[in-house]
Every structure is written in structure tokens, then in C-alpha cells.
Amino acid sequence: MAALFVTGAGTDIGKTHVACALITALRARGMAVDAFKPVLSGFDPNDLASSDAGRLAAALGRPEAWAAIAPRRFRAPLSPPTAAALEGETLALDDLVADGRARMGAADGLLLIEGAGGVMSPLTETATNLDLMAALRAPVLLVVGSYLGALSHALTALVALRARGLTVAAVVMSESQNAPDLDQTGASLKAFETEAPVFLAPRGAAWTADALADLILA
Ligand SMILES: Nc1ncnc2c1ncn2[C@@H]1O[C@H](COP(=O)(O)OP(=O)(O)OP(=O)(O)O)[C@@H](O)[C@H]1O
Ligand SMILES: [Mg+2]
């Protein structure tokens, strides 16, 4: 596997959390890893450490790499096309596809590509993350929550991904705050999703992504 596209059933669901844990686990096994965030909105240069770019760079052990990881950055905490428009820019799918292909071609080891928001969150005024994923054709890691209602969002996301012919390498249920029991919700997802492996990422106890790293290295 040369690249893995990390997407979510929604925004703020744990994509960066899961990607960073996976980077750490893969690096511990000696694997070369890189990261790419095609578009980053809500970027505050005064709070680099908590931005996706800063967190991914830190996990890679290359804190200086943040700008290269996320070359298209916008200040407003809004959808990428809206945030870009506020800075007089228009995002085009062709450019994002070209960026992604170039990164995939140049990557040494596994490239983790983190989308913006959820599977069908807009990336441009007329294209969603799903359009970028369909063009890049990398296997997908879907991150879902465990809140009440998360199952419907997870299963809907899986149908949408597969309708475009994408391979779902794995699903990670990242525990939501104030959510029902994670094991029970995870078991319920596993009963519906029998194709891709489902991993649970609990809050509190540090989640190591070891089993996910083993799957990727297998
Ligand atoms: N399993 C978890 N354990 C502990 N904290 C978590 C977990 N999942 C998510 N979080 C926390 O929840 C917040 C949102 O997660 P994260 O930033 O990874 O989401 P995201 O999907 O990458 O968001 P965005 O759509 O902005 O890229 C972060 O503060 C993150 O550290
Ligand atoms: Mg993120």
C-alpha cells in the first residue's frame, strides 16, 4: 500500500487523532510514513501545535514539515471553498487531484492523505472529498464516531465510498464524548459492516493503533 486516504463520517470526528496514532505505530515498526492535507481551513498560524498540519508534522517527528504537509491553508473555520473565497481564492478539483497524485508519486513509504471534514464535505464549490478520493483511488481509512446516531452516518459513508468503487481498508470508531458504551456501539457496527475490519479507539487510555498498523503492514 503506497497511500491511504483518511476520511471521516463527519468533521471533527478523529481523523487527525487516528492518523497521528497510526503514524506513530508505523514509525515504531521502522516504516517510512508521510502525510498530506490537501486543504486545511480554520488554520491559525499562532496555534500551530493544535492544527492538523502541526499535529501530523509532530507525529512524523518532523515539526518543520507542517507547511509542506498542508500547502493550501485558510484562516476561516469554514468549509474549504468558503474559507478560500474569503481570501480571494477559488479551489479547483483538478489542482487538488494533481497535488495528490504528485505526492503519491513522490512519497517514500506510506502517504497518509487526510481529507477535510467528512466523505461528502465540499472541497471546492462543486466537488466533495469523495470526488478527490475517486480520482486518487487510494484505499480509504474511514473514521467514524460512537455518538448516538453514528451508526447511520458510518453506514451511509460506507455506501457512498463503495458506490464510487473505492476500497475501504479499515474503519476506526473513535470514541465520541458523552457517547453510549464504545464496545457495544462498535459491536453493532461490526454486525452491519462485515467486509472491512473495524477498530475501536477509546478515549482516555492512550490508543496505540497497533492492530491497525499490523493490518497495514500485513
Ligand atoms: N479516540 C480519541 N481519543 C481522544 N481524543 C480524541 C479521539 N478522537 C478524537 N479526539 C479529539 O477530538 C478532537 C477532534 O479530533 P480530530 O482533530 O482528530 O478530528 P478531525 O476529524 O481530524 O477534525 P477535522 O475535521 O477538523 O480535520 C481533537 O481534540 C482530538 O484530539
Ligand atoms: Mg483533522
Is pLDDT of 1 > 90?
A: no
The grid cell for 73 is 491553508
C-alpha of residue 211 to centroid of ligand 2, in Å = 21
Catalytic residue, candidates 37, 72, 73, 153: 37
Is pLDDT of 205 > 80?
A: no
CATH code for the domain in which residue 78 is found: 3.40.50.300
For residue 187, the model assigns a pLDDT of: 98
How many domains, the chain?
A: 1
Structural domain harbouring 126: 3-217
| 6 bridge partner residues | 114, 141
| Element spanning 191, H or E | helix 182-192
- Residue 120: band (very low, low, confident or very high) from pLDDT cuts 50, 70, 90: very high
DSSP assignment of 92-136? -HHHHHHHHHHHHHH-SSEEEEE-SSSTT-BSSSS-BHHHHHHHH
- Residue 16: band (very low, low, confident or very high) from pLDDT cuts 50, 70, 90: very high
Residues with CB under 6 A from ligand 1: 8, 11-17, 52, 117, 174-175, 201, 203, 207
Give me the percent of the chain exceeding a pLDDT of 90.
Answer: 96
Is pLDDT of 63 > 90?
A: yes
C-alpha of residue 13 to centroid of ligand 1, in Å = 5
The minimum-distance atom of ligand 1 relative to the CA of 11 is 25
| 113 bridge partner residues | 5, 36
The verdict on whether 190 is a catalytic residue reads no
pTM for the model stands at: 0.97
C-alpha of residue 23 to centroid of ligand 1, in Å = 15
